[in-house]
Chains A and B, each alone.
Chain A
Amino acid sequence: EAAVTQSPRNKVAVTGGKVTLSCNQTNNHNNMYWYRQDTGHGLRLIHYSYGAGSTEKGDIPDGYKASRPSQENFSLILELATPSQTSVYFCASGLGRWDTQYFGPGTRLLVL
């Protein structure tokens, strides 16, 4: 069974602060993804990666950076958090085409 973990599970941040969300997968998947889920919008892709050292912009990358230091780890970085970034963030991993994606449990972020 594919395993994707996220930390922290819940986070309260202040406006203008830096937030780092971490994701770890033990499946040796090349591809990793960061999504946010908001009522009325569904899940939207922020950044993704094809492997260690690579990051690509998704559909809504503004205000976010990503880092893939290793095959297992993929981080999402909010350098200057804003209240509009309050959301639930999901990380996922997958082999790529012809395979599904495996999701982590999610991180609830509240920016005050």
Chain B
Amino acid sequence: GQQVQQSPASLVLQEGENAELQCNFSTSLNSMQWFYQRPGGSLVSLFYNPSGTKHSGRLTSTTVIKERRSSLHISSSQTTDSGTYLCALEQGTGSKLSFGKGAKLTVSP
């Protein structure tokens, strides 16, 4: 079955609102990673987060291994934040990634 469950599948916000995206995983991991994908575009790494909390501008990633969950918080959303956010579980010696199905974020002005 799916090793990484991502929620919500889609989210619509007004500019300035905050977003909370979740990933739950069912296996052991080396790390949880978060990526951003523009419509029709490639993936850009946001966070490499094996555990704990990391910050980057308006973005915060928190991974709690014993609870098997990771979250991405976007504060004060902007229209340019629109796109798809994917979490990925890194496991094994080959650093293979198992991706969630993604969360499509739409931020309206």
Chain A interface residues toward B at CB < 8 A = 31, 33, 35, 40-45, 48, 50, 56, 58-59, 90, 92, 94, 96-106
Chain B interface residues toward A at CB < 8 A = 30-31, 33, 35, 41-45, 48, 86, 88, 90, 93-102
Closest Cβ neighbor of A45 among chain B residues: B96
In the complex, are the beta carbons of B101 and A99 less than 8 A apart? no
Number of A-B contacts (CB under 8 A): 58
Complex partner residue of B43 from A50, A90, A96, CB under 8 angstroms: A90
In the complex, are the beta carbons of B94 and A48 less than 8 A apart? yes
With known contacts A90-B42, A102-B45, A105-B42, A56–B101 Cβ distance under 8 A = no
Complex partner residue of A50 from B44, B94, B99, CB under 8 angstroms: B94
Complex partner residue of B41 from A48, A56, A97, A105, CB under 8 angstroms: A105
